[in-house]
């Protein structure tokens, strides 16, 4: 049994989570490891990654950290091959969570914002699927989970780059699901709403946060472990008939009249 009392649904499975040093990514790493997975925790910052991996290992969880710039095709290929070598088995689950962006009005969108956002958030999905697909084929299948956002379908001001990226993630997920089905590889997406991570809420004052929470039918922001629970379901055999799905985790925000 896991720490939550649930069955260890991922016992022995090698899982890769990108953008895993904090927030949703870290919660997914913790949840997977608690369900028996062997987890490769990837982040662009080794300095940020090392202490959180050390804390998880001290708790007896099977987690290893890897510094990786997912925007680099060569870096992704190198790290994914190293993960298979280190764990002695092909990767069975991949979570594409890494993200970088700035929210800017149209006249302030710059080359760096556009290039880095699309490289980390979209190109990386291509590089990671190229790297993981041969491993999943060798093991007879696997599960790929892409983190999109409700911002893909319901945008806020100054979010043109972010919203277009997250919409593209959904298109990529559907197309990849069709192509990968013949190999037993499932590809699905999670669409979180406002999740109470430092990166998501750190730039707002208390009044603004209260107003935004009031616009959510459940009257609160989500927690990163609530997204991790969905990611664990999609990684497990319990979701074995889900392919190309988009699972919304937003407290009802995207369906409510404003």
- List active site positions: 162
Helix extents (H) in 181-252? 198-201, 206-214, 224-235
Nearest alpha carbon to residue 129 among 18, 247, 253, 233: 18
* Rounded Cα gap, residues 239 and 253, in angstroms: 24
97 and 224 in contact (C-beta within 8 Å)? no
106 secondary structure, DSSP code: G
Torsion region of 2: left, alpha or beta (phi above 0 gives left; psi -120 to 50 gives alpha): beta
* Rounded Cα gap, residues 102 and 70, in angstroms: 18
Write a three-state SS string for 114-148: HHHHHHHHHHHHHHHHHHHHHHHHHHCCEEEEEEC
β-bridge mates for residue 15, sequence order: 39, 93
Token representation of residue 78: 């190198």
């Amino acid at each position: 049994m896991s720490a939550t009392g649930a069955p260890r649904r991922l016992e022995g499975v090698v899982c890769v989570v990108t953008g895993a040093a904090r927030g949703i990514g870290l919660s997914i790493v913790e949840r997977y490891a608690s369900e028996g997975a062997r987890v490769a925790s990837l982040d662009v910052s080794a300095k940020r990654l090392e202490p959180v991996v050390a804390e998880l290992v001290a708790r007896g969880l099977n987690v290893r950290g890897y510094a990786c710039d997912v925007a680099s095709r060569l870096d992704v290929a190198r790290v994914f091959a190293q993960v298979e070598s280190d764990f002695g088995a092909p990767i069975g689950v991949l979570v594409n969570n890494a993200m970088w962006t700035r929210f800017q009005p149209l006249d302030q969108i710059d080359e760096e914002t556009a290039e880095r956002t699309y490289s980390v958030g979209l190109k990386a999905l291509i590089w990671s699927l190229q790297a993981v697909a041969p491993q999943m084929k060798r093991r007879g299948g696997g599960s790929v989970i892409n983190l999109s956002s409700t911002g893909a379908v319901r945008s806020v001001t100054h979010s043109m780059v972010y919203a277009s990226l997250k919409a593209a993630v959904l298109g990529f997920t559907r197309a990849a699901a069709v192509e990968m089905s013949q190999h037993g590889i499932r590809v699905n997406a999670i669409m979180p709403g406002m999740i109470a991570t430092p990166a998501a809420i750190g730039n707002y004052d208390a009044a603004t946060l209260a107003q935004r929470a009031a616009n959510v039918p459940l009257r609160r922001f989500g927690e990163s472990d609530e997204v991790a629970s969905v990611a664990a379901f999609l990684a497990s055999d319990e979701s074995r008939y889900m392919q190309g799905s988009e699972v919304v985790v937003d407290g009802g925000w995207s369906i409510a009249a404003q």
